[in-house]
Amino acid sequence: MQEPAEKATELFRLMNRHRRDVFKGYRDFTATIKKDSTIDSKTQSLILIACSILSQCDMCISLHVQNAASHGATRDEIIDAALLSVAMGGSPKMMYMKYVYDEVDKLFD
């Protein structure tokens, strides 16, 4: 069974193969936002974790937890960022904490 991050990587490959122009435009857009931001990479990643939970995207959660850890976020910072989205979204968003815990357990245990 593929992990959520592996599923996302496969999706990116498919998009790049079938609509390279659209996918490149999207990547360029997001890269520009990140590059020109006054917010450091670790904080951006933590914000994106919370947004991923609010969007209910398990693949996004997986990617952004891994990215946050690669930018120096601790297990506790990742969980706290995720819990902020639960505070905004309630119990339906709490169910997506499972994906956060799955990823941090792989990365930090």
106: which 2 tokens?
């792989």
Contacts of 86 (CB under 8 A, 6+ apart): 53, 93, 94, 97
Instruction: Indicate the fold that domain 4-108 takes in CATH.
Output: AhpD-like (1.20.1290)
Q: What's the pLDDT tens digit per position in 4-18? A: 888 888 988 999 899
Percent of the chain at pLDDT > 70 equals 100
Give this prediction's pTM: 0.85
37: which 2 tokens?
């931001």
- As a whole number of angstroms, the distance between CA 49 and CA 93 comes to 12
* Local confidence band at 32 (pLDDT 50, 70, 90 cut-offs): very high
